[in-house]
Structure 1
Amino acid sequence: MHPFGPEATSAPHPLYARLREEAPAHEFAVAPNFNAWLITRHDDARRALNDPRLSKNVSGAPIRTSGGWPVELRAAMDSHMLSNDPPAHTRLRRIVSSAFTARRIADLRPDVQRISDELLDGFAGRDEVDLIGEYAFPLPLAVICELLGVPMDDRDSFRAWSNTIIASALAQGDALAAATAMNDYVRELVERKRAQPDHALLSALVTAADDGERLTEDELTSLVFLLLLAGHETTVNLIGNGVYLLLSHPEELARLRADRKLLSPAIEEFLRYESPVKTATLRIATEPVEFGGVTVPAGAVVMVSLLSANHDPQAFADPERFDPARADNQHLAFGHGIHYCLGAPLARLEGEIAFNGLLDRFPKLRATQPLDELIWRPGALLRGLDRLPVMLS
């Protein structure tokens, strides 16, 4: 069975258990004329995520040069931290960190609460909603737009572009048109923020510098793409997957309703058990790298399975048991090392508010269909449901 095929999409955990047992690294065909090595064990994954021999500069990989995307557009989308190694990565992360501070994230709490409340208010008088499309998706998108300073009137366009790009990131046609439109919009927005700065993150990024060196236009637009597509989508899946897990384990849902102090460790268990990012972004081996006696050759593309690593029995006691009170939960859902997700605190904040809102308002929340009939979205990168229809009362 292929690790990114239909059966593995709906039920990945048994397959990953078998892969972990068989070997520390496996070579698979990801696309025509494009193979990659998949790392599945926790210790190997942790090491691979921070190994300087596994470069994040994958611009020459076949999967990055296919699809007919113009070079200029790729530069506007890929000139961010996740696509660079030190020293370029160090410079970019330092500039972004100077603007994307813990204080800025903490100050977003009232906005996140307001957005969550408004979305939940919209469910008044309704018996059934799709929690993905009507809550898990719009909440973090609105937060990202608030964070960046995207005007309210433009947010529907942002949502449409985001939906199209995520649904078909390697295709031509609609996805290419959406990426082009978003790039044009972001460049114009940057110019507006430069001329009329405000207190939002994008204005701070326009003026932030490292030893006097500011972000280039491509770096600015790439960062917006990264925040919108990567940061937003992971939170969608955190909320959707977390609700799915609670509905799958009603006794744990009841415990959480009774004791909200369990919410913080529960969010970490959501992140571990159904990791929002299934596989870390691509790396290329700049020299041979060994994993448990298996050598990945120089020039090979490497993919790290965060979902598999987070179910490794060598790292987690009874990993197939969903345990919202799990202690010392050293999951890799946000990565590890120098590329550890800068937006992790924001995702946790959004998760806390999102789950508290649902638990407070809907004591009879339940699924409208058998949970094993829900559809998981295909693809190698993300782990999330297509829809999650629920009854509210």
Structure 2
Amino acid sequence: MRRSKYRRANSPAWFSGRRRIVVVAAAALAAFGGVVTVTQISNAATEGDTVTDQALAACGNLQAPARSRLSTQTRKGTYTTNNGQVTQHADDGAGDVATTAQLQARCREWVTNNVSSTTDANTLARRGRGNGNNGNNNNGNNNGGNNNGGNQGNNGGNNNGGNAGASASPAATATQATTAPADNGNNNGGNNNGGNNNGGNNNGGNNNGGNNGGGAVTPPPGAGLGVLTNSCDTSDLEAHDGFQKGNRCVSTEFGEVGAAANNPTLLITNAPRQVNRNTPFTIQVSTRNLIRDRFLAAGQGGYYVESSVLQGGLVRGHFHTACRILDNRNAAPAPEPVPAFFVATEDSRGGAQPDTVAIQVPGLPQAGEFQCSSWAGDGSHRIPMMERANQTPAFDSIRVRVR
């Protein structure tokens, strides 16, 4: 039978046993920033070291990212407005850059709290089993398929977003990395497509689990549509590490999508059409079906690392507001220049009923026409998903003339 391109290739001999566990753990450490390559981890894996020792050693390879360009007029850092009720994160937290020492310390703390006992137990559990049991129990139904690869893929998203603060992500990643050591434990079972697509139904449950221990083959979502790929397994790009870097492949699952009636919406309800240069003004933004309580700073490695999480059917996240000058009203603007103003708004409010937040712009620096936009974001700063394809995303945009 021809092997489906949606199924992962068999792991090479070196990617097994302790080496595999450490690679899985190291992949989880990407949430702390910095890329620890498979080569580095595999070379560090020796039979004389424990899994914990190897993972701790990998933490020493983490390096702080370079600082990104920031908006020109935004007040720097994190601050509050509206009498202290609203928290504003300038540039999505891009200016709050972690140091190498911070990254390595967070990494070691995560390894100490999450890797040792569970990982070693799963290493022992995976060894000494016959092929039949390994296929049906570890790969097919229990670890790779329904229990850990399928459900824990989703639970990883829930846990990731469930706890407040930037420390929520490591705990969820620990579950994904340490409870699914089989073929699809981390890539397809935990982080990439394990929740619904590959780990639960396709690769972990039936395809790869079936090959190792017997079972039926289930077509992947979108079968017959000519899908190019549905995971980073087929990408030649480096893994995304939670920082603001392009030419990377993001393996974080999309996560939970709510019902159409619960999908977020957003509207700019009031803003000036004309202002003077360097004169402060206010933009009123209303959101519905958005709980504004999840924010992971981009400069701390929180970019594209958290799956979408629902609470009572509603997305947990925040919203953004930015203003950029338009050099040409008749052509789409270049994407790379930094805007004059950019904040991410988190105030632990919002819900099913619409409410309004006042965004205070400190002033725009030059004469011309500016585009000021607001859009909702989930925990990883992406516009929230919608149940139907013909719904309007949670965004709005206006023009402001600066004279």
Answer whether TM exceeds 0.5 for this pair. Answer: no
Which has more strand, going by share of residues?
Answer: 2
Which has more helix, going by share of residues?
Answer: 1
TM-score w.r.t. structure 1 length? 0.28
